[in-house]
Amino acid sequence: MKLFGTMSIKENELIIGGIGVSELKSKHGTPLYIIDQKGFEDKANLFINNFKSNTFDTRVIYASKAFMNLSIAKLVSKLGLCIDVVSGGELYTALKAGFDPNKIYFHGNNKLYDELVLAVQNRVGTIVVDNEYEYDLLSGISGEFETVTRVILRVNPGIEAHTHEYIQTTKNDSKFGLSIFDDKTMDFIIKMSSDPNIDFAGIHCHVGSQVFDENTFLKEADEMIKYAKEIENEAQVVFKELNLGGGFGVYYTDEDNPFELGSFLGRYTKHIEHKLSELDLNPEIISIEPGRSLINSYGSTLYTVGAIKKTMAGLPYVFVDGGMTDNPRPSLYQAKYEAVIANKMDDTDLESYRIAGKCCETGDILIKDASLANPMPGDLLLISSTGAYNYSMSSNYNRIPRPEVVFVKDGVSKTAVKRETYEDLIRNDEVID
């Protein structure tokens, strides 16, 4: 397993944020989501320090759908990033964490009336409008609150990103945004930019997630800048912000080959500067919206090994005390992960096992083929790279409580989200006679 952030090995044991996994288990129990706070902070700073320009302001917007709770929102705010929220729930969490509303971007392809009211009431900085119906609602709400709402429009530049079909977002039949190839989109922009309740500031797109090809992002920037210029010409507006989304691919296993982010961001910025000057466009702000590439490598899930058994066909299974409820990605996207027996890190005699969870579901497999050091009941099994889209996509299937989330840094562990209890599971149940 590749070690990330502050991970190290001491006396046969995996250490994260200066704390051994057995201490984490005795303090917090398992399954446990562990966030390496320093790893995350360093990655946030890498984005801030490398995505910058002398010709425009840059914004790094954390896509909170990857991993959201009060503590991460507070940390993101402290680090100086903006935040992308995609629902009333994420928005509420950001506001409760004290996030400056001005630095919030509100996304979503079907924002509800009440969600838009919450956003306008709280003076959310930017609403990323997806379609005309939503714009109509928003314009009306802004009018009622006697305010002018800053808006950017999500568009689809039709760039094909090579990633899993479910996480591609700009195919021509994608549900997100409006196509730049549809003349009606420009008519709509012209209409929005003359609305006194709306400050039309620019456009947004997101080509997909877990994308490894650098050229996809460069091509996306080119297309978006060209379209931004057309907007300036046709809608007679000053184009202010181009938001190029997230999607930068990360390492899960040795099948993944991500580009080095720091140097990529430098090249990316230069490329954007060049294209802008070629077309004589001068937006105030260029923004990006990374989620996975900020948090994924700095999250791990710690489990306790239960039974180990061989099927009649000879397949050796290791069962853990969690499963698809805390990580649905292997069953949803055939996502692959790496694991270790975290209390046997020096053991080099590895054998192949299938790691399965405790859900009543044949597909509840976390890793099909993991190389593990002689797992025994009671051992600690850690799956790395679970920072993004694990906790945020977790469920209570089989009425399994969600694990605790702990942040570790400098030898101290702090609970960010408490472990759910059985009582939590029945909290909203009503008994009908």
Q: Does 209 bind ligand LLP (CB under 6 A)?
A: yes
- Give least dist CB 64 to ligand LLP, A: 9
Q: What is the smallest separation between the CB atom of 185 and ligand LLP, expressed in angstroms?
A: 17
Binding mask 127-166 toward ligand LLP (x if CB under 6 A, else -) reads: ----------------------------------------
DSSP state of 6: T
**Whose Cβ is closer to ligand LLP: residue 86's or residue 340's?**
86
> How many residues line the site for ligand LLP (CB under 6 A)?
22
Q: Under DSSP, is residue 421 helix (H, G, I), strand (E, B) or coil?
A: coil
Q: Which is nearer to ligand LLP, 28 or 329 (CB)?
A: 329
Hey, what are 232's tokens? 């300036």
Task: Give which of 395, 373, 392 is closest to 382, Cα–Cα.
Answer: 373
Residue 82 engages ligand LLP in binding (rule: CB under 6 A):
no
Considering only 25, 59, 150, 292, the residue that binds ligand LLP (CB under 6 A) is 292
Question: Quick one: which of 105, 60, 93, 96 has its CA closest to 79?
Answer: 60
Residue ranges in 377-406 that form contacts with ligand LLP under rule CB under 6 A: 388-389
Residue whose CB is less far from ligand LLP, 169 or 216: 169
Site string for ligand LLP, 162-201 (x = CB under 6 A): -----x-x--------------------------------
CB of 329 to ligand LLP, least distance (A): 5
* Cα gap 424→68, rounded to integer Å: 19
Among 88, 125, 246, 403, binds ligand LLP (CB under 6 A): 246
Which DSSP string do the residues of 137-184 spell out, in sequence order? HHHHHHHHTT--EEEEEEEE------S-GGGB--STT-SSSEETT-HH
Nearest 5°: phi and psi at 240? Answer: -105, -40
Note whether 291 binds ligand LLP by CB under 6 A. Answer: yes
Distance of alpha carbon 433 from alpha carbon 163, whole angstroms: 50
Q: Are 387 and 316 in contact (CB under 8 A)?
A: no
Give the one residue of 111, 206, 275, 402 binding ligand LLP; rule: CB under 6 A. Answer: 206
Residue 388 CB, shortest distance to ligand LLP, in Å, is 6
Instruction: Tell me the C-alpha distance between 334 and 356, whole Å.
Output: 14
Told to check if 241 binds ligand LLP by CB under 6 A, we report no
Min. distance of Cβ 216 from ligand LLP in angstroms? 12
Are 311 and 83 within 8 A, CB to CB?
Answer: no
Nearer to ligand LLP, 107 or 336 (CB): 107
**C-beta of 195: minimal distance to ligand LLP in Å?**
23
Owner of token pair 């294209």 = 275
Q: Compute the least distance from the CB of residue 142 to ligand LLP, in Å.
A: 22
Residues near 206 by Cβ (< 8 Å), separated by ≥ 6? Answer: 154, 169, 170, 176, 244, 245, 246, 247, 289
Binding residues for ligand LLP restricted to 58-77, rule: CB under 6 A: 63, 66
Compute the C-alpha angle 186/187/192, nearest 5°.
95
Which segments of 214-296 does DSSP mark as H helices, in order? Answer: 214-235, 261-279, 292-295
End-to-end CA distance of the chain: 53
Is 360 in the active site?
yes
Q: Site map for ligand LLP, 324-343, x if CB under 6 A?
A: -----x---x----------
**Part in contact with ligand LLP (CB under 6 A); list of ranges 14-22, 185-193, 241-249, 319-327:** 241-249
Query: Which residue in 278, 271, 299, 282 sits closest to 51, CA to CA?
Result: 271
Helices (H), 280-420: 292-295, 329-333
CB atoms within 10 A of CB 49: 11
Choice from 88, 157, 247, 375 touching ligand LLP (CB under 6 A): 247
Q: Applying CB under 6 A, which of residues 293, 331, 386, 413 lies at the interface with ligand LLP? A: 293
Among 31, 245, 299, 330, binds ligand LLP (CB under 6 A): 245
Q: What are the backbone dihedrals phi and psi of residue 178, each rounded to the nearest 5 degrees, phi first?
A: -120, 145
Residue 36 is a binding residue for ligand LLP (CB under 6 A): no
Place of tokens 């002018």: 148
Catalytic pick from 82, 205, 359, 360?
360
* Residue choice 20, 34, 84, 104 for contact with ligand LLP (CB under 6 A): 84
Active-site residue set: 360
Q: Which stretches of the chain bind ligand LLP, using CB under 6 A? A: 63, 66, 84, 107, 167, 169, 206, 209-210, 245-248, 289-293, 329, 333, 388-389
